[in-house]
A and B are shown apart, each in its own frame.
Chain A
Amino acid sequence: MAHSNHHSHDEIGHVVPESLFFKVLLTLLFLTAVTILAAQVDLGKWNIVGALVIASVKASLVIYFFMHGKYENRIIWTYILIPFILLAIMIGGVFTDDPFRSKPVPLQVTQQP
């Protein structure tokens, strides 16, 4: 039977110290505070950019440490990245369309069907 080539010993996986997790938690809470505070300032379109950047940093921390991403092999990283790439393709593809054509029927306040 094929062996996964990275586990030659009896012991499997990587033990991460709990103290590291705690530091990550503190960082995540700090970033949450930052994102809430940043949203109180009106930066125009940069509000959403900033919020998404901070969210992505937080998400990376969760994947990298909490989810043991740091210790995973290339195959797993491929499948971590694929959905995010596809999401980017999806949004990118749809945005080649909508902003370049006239809007659909303008929003009308009408009665319920």
Chain B
Amino acid sequence: MSSNAAVAEHHHVGPGEPPHIHHMDTPTAYGAAKLGMWLFLATEVLLFAVMFCSFAIMRYYHLAEFHDASHHLNLPLGALNTVILLFSSYTAAVAVTKAQKGDNKGVIRNFGISVLCGLAFLVIKSIEYTGKAHHGMFPVVWNEHFYEYKNFLGLYYCMTGLHALHVIIGMVIMVIYGILPARQNRYSGRYYTPVELSALYWHLVDLIWIYLFPLLYLVG
């Protein structure tokens, strides 16, 4: 991951100082890391694009089934998850401002909230999955009754599953590149690249969900 490469060797650098990268000066390194991250996000959007495209086609073919199947999803839980992710995205954005002001405690606090929100999101998601499994709507226990919903549910699990994986990755990134270095007062107005990149990644997770929620839970 590009954020990985952006964080060069920390040692021998005082708190708040940018790391020394032998082949780039600091503004160049900052610009490079940010452009790299945006490119990476572009690839992530395109990963999901395939499923959005498949969704469009499958919905075209199985409109009625998609409608019915969509109503089997738990709308209140989905809505709650939307609110949670939006809020976590807000705290992630605040964390960047905190880092720019050199407030490392603020970074820990706000990223901490985002990580907890991510955790809550996953818990709710697994409650939803368990509920589906109970009704035989889980991939490993497809049965006759729900067979006509297979196209919808297949995409539902692919999309939310991959999204959940991104939630996990985003949480790990925020801990490793945001919270842990902030505990050593690494960030300042002169150096906060990893915080910004981690936040960007987390916003992407939110961004995907902004589309997944209405498509899967509302209009089906």
Contact = CB atoms under 8 A, between A and B. Distances in A.
A in complex with B = yes
Interface of A: 1-4, 7, 10-13, 15-18, 21-22, 24-25, 28-29, 32, 35-36, 39, 47-48, 51-52, 54-55, 58-59, 62-63, 65-68, 72, 75-76, 79-80, 82-84, 86-87, 90-91, 94-95, 98-99, 103-104, 107, 109, 112
B190 A11 contact: yes
B49 A18 contact: no
Interface string B35-48: 10011001101100
A70 B76 CA distance: 33
Contact of A1 (B28, B147, B199): B28
Contacts of B199: 66-67
A13 B192 contact: yes
Interface string B78-91: 01001100110110
Is the contact region of chain B dominated by helix, strand, or loop, or is it mixed?
helix
B76 to A, nearest CB: 10
B55 to A, nearest CB: 10
B127 interface: no
B86 A109 contact: no
Contacts of B35: 75-76, 79
Question: How big is chain B's contact interface, by range?
Answer: 35 or more
A83 B50 CA distance: 11
Given A55-B211, A63-B207, A7 B30 contact: yes
A contacts with B: majority SS: helix
A98 B60 CA distance: 9
Given A35-B214, A51-B219, A66-B203, A12 B28 contact: no
Nearest to B206: A62
Nearest to B202: A66
Nearest to A63: B207
A87 B79 contact: no
Contacts of B104: none
